[in-house]
Chain A
Amino acid sequence: MQSKMKESDPILEVENLSASTDNLPILKGVSLTVYPGEIHAIMGRNGCGKSTLSKIIAGHPSYNITNGDIKFLGENINSLEPEERSQSGIFLGFQYPIEIPGVSNLEFLRVSTNARRKFLNKEELDTFDFEELVKEKLEIVKMDQAFLSRSVNQGFSGGEKKRNEILQMALLEPKIAILDETDSGLDIDALRIVASGIKKISNAQTGIILITHYQRLLDEIKPNYVHVMSDGQIIKTGESDLATELEEKGYEWTDNFIKET
């Protein structure tokens, strides 16, 4: 099965990526390749650079790439704007989704979805057609329609915010989704809803990167690969049992690893 996957071209290639913010190096040579249908988990302590990696892939302007490349579907995207990356199919699920007062969630979702549809040469949806689509997708995350008329993420509980992120993922149908601690702050029921949502949206053509501290999300969504990050580097890569081992032994265990490659 493994070799069959590799017959197709990779979705995402991160090659020896180094990056800094305010001249402070955060990433120190990260390499990661995601093929269609693969699920990768990135684990590591707070401050190890895993959130930064996700933001840089999405194009956050606060970070400078000092070395290395990010390739998406074979094209270098180092200098693309965040909106161009999103339109072409890169999705970042935020650890802390941002509140946008006064902007209706429905309108936000519609403008966002249409930006992606435009890129795909699909017809843009008017308010009525979009409402049909969004109602369908609300099912996936078991969200109430009332969320649509509220301001983006404003006054949402932690769990509601995370579900709103997955709703966006469902609408945008990305080629690759990077989910930054989507499991944090969720109770068991919400975690199951979110996890089953992610599974429903992903397929053999999409790639997923799960950034997490905990095993429990990986119990719901089994990764093909687990990477452990420390001090801006991936220090160990293994299969899903690496996460179990990590859960048992703690991050102290990883301190002994010598950087691989």
Chain B
Amino acid sequence: MVNENLVKDVVKEPYKYGFVTDIETEKIEKGLNEDIIKLISQKKEEPKFLLDFRLKAFKKWQKMKEPDWAALGYKKIDYQDIIYYSAPKQKEKISSLDEVDPKLLETFDKLGIPLTEQKKLTNVAVDAVFDSVSIATTFREELAEHGVIFCSISEAVKNHADLIEKYLGTVVPASDNYFAALNSAVFSDGSFVYIPKGVTCPMDLSSYFRINSGDSGQFERTLIIAEESSSVSYLEGCTAPMFDTNTLHAAVVELIALDDASIKYSTVQNWYAGDEEGVGGIFNFVTKRGKCLGKRSKISWSQVETGSAITWKYPSCLLLGEESVGEFYSVALTNNLQQADTGTKMIHIGPKTKSTIVSKGISAGNSKNSYRGLVKMGTKATGSRNYSQCDSMLIGDQASANTFPYIKSQQPNSEIEHEASTCRISEDQLFYLQSRGIEFEEAVSMMVSGFCRDVFNQLPMEFAAEADKLLALKLEGSVG
């Protein structure tokens, strides 16, 4: 069919961020053992409690088995064939951005994340992470005036060890799962955010993760703490160069919200997805979880997942505090031979807790896109409510979509609602739009945007526009 081919052309993805920065890096040797972990910890000049945390995690990891329950197929990962620490060579201590290698600044410039004083984004503070280390964080002084701490997690370990020791691993314990254990043992850098009591963070905070090297894994760790009655909106973006090998990315993100605090965590994930034949691309195994510890606290995840060869990711909420609220809004687009197994877990523990799940999966090409979600009502979660909506859209006739909702309720006085749908962009719909003068590509992208609208409405303004553009770009092809 004519249109079938056109659809294939249209969903061909040009990846704009595939360049490699030629920069001298300091890498340690391949492989994983206790000595490597000690070396990483030593390089980062970490206190003893953290080295112990790492070693304990490593011991647990060694006893664990890589999970195989996800609807994913991939070549076994050789964990001894990965470099666990890679950093661009630069001066030991950098006191200002002027001392950052211009090549690094140029890299982030090219990615649309200018860091220099003159060019930096005006309303967003950025922490830029390049391979294993954080390069720069903007607006730190301004944020400090409000008592907000926003820095790399390595710096937080040095300057705010008490907070790290108190909270690290309390939401995602090292033993939680195979990839969380691995991350706990070898995590490199990531962002740390602390919002003090009663403070509404004056600007959005953002981390930008860039994988540059081909043979090293990226294991970032992010920790966000929102004290009583505080609030913050945090954005995360990711890209990587095109390599024909697979790079492992195993991150852990922990969020903690105390009484009346609110955290909004938004991700636009655009790691390199591999080529049309499925060669190369990032293996993205991520554990993200938020703990609504306080009464009336709220954690909201929104994600736009368009990259990675493999995505294994379930941003979750533990709803402990009475009347706490968890939200998950997700758009996952897969194309070519990409595979995504993603969803959320909403664990209702406290009474009158509320959660909302809106998941939109779009599969094109030969890709496989699964939603996997758990909603659990604990014995004390009386008067709690959940609403889930999982919609799938298929483009072409080779793509597949699955929905695996798990519902467990131990509390009769709670409500769980689940709706699911699958649709296909039909030839008739395309013809209808075309017969009104709308070009084929625009018609597809209009329908995809329309399908994702409920989720895009949840994204921060500047991100929503970016997400819309990103999807259009992913669906842009060689037509015309």
Could you tell me which A residues sit within 8 Å of B by CB distance?
58-62, 81-83, 85-87, 92, 94, 97-104, 107-108, 111-112, 115-116, 119, 151, 168, 172
Contact = CB atoms under 8 A, between A and B. Distances in A.
Contact of A112 (B2, B438, B440, B453): B438
B95 to A, nearest CB: 48
Given A81-B434, A83-B440, A103 B450 contact: yes
Name which of A102, A104, A172 has the most chain B CB atoms within 10 A of its CB: A102
A108 B436 contact: yes
Contact of A116 (B3, B423, B437): B437
13 contacts: A60-B431, A82-B431, A82-B434, A83-B440, A86-B436, A87-B437, A98-B428, A100-B429, A103-B447, A103-B449, A103-B450, A107-B446, A168-B436
A62 B427 contact: yes
A101 to B, nearest CB: 6
Given A61-B431, A62-B427, A100 B450 contact: yes
Nearest to A90: B435
Contacts of B432: 94, 97-98, 100
A104 B426 CA distance: 18
A99 B447 CA distance: 11
B3 A172 contact: no
B450 A151 contact: yes
A166 to B, nearest CB: 13
Given A60-B431, A83-B434, A116-B437, A103 B446 contact: yes
Given A61-B431, A81-B440, 10 more contacts: A61-B2, A61-B427, A82-B435, A83-B437, A86-B435, A100-B447, A102-B450, A102-B451, A108-B436, A151-B450
Contacts of B446: 100, 103, 107-108, 111
B10 to A, nearest CB: 13
Nearest to B426: A98
B238 interface: no
B433 interface: yes
A173 to B, nearest CB: 12
Nearest to A55: B431
Contacts of A172: 436-437
Contacts of B155: none
Nearest to B450: A102
A253 B389 CA distance: 56
Contact of A115 (B426, B438, B452): B438
B468 to A, nearest CB: 13
Nearest to A89: B437
B438 A83 contact: yes
A85 to B, nearest CB: 8
Contacts of B427: 61-62
Nearest to A102: B450
B451 A86 contact: no
Nearest to B6: A61
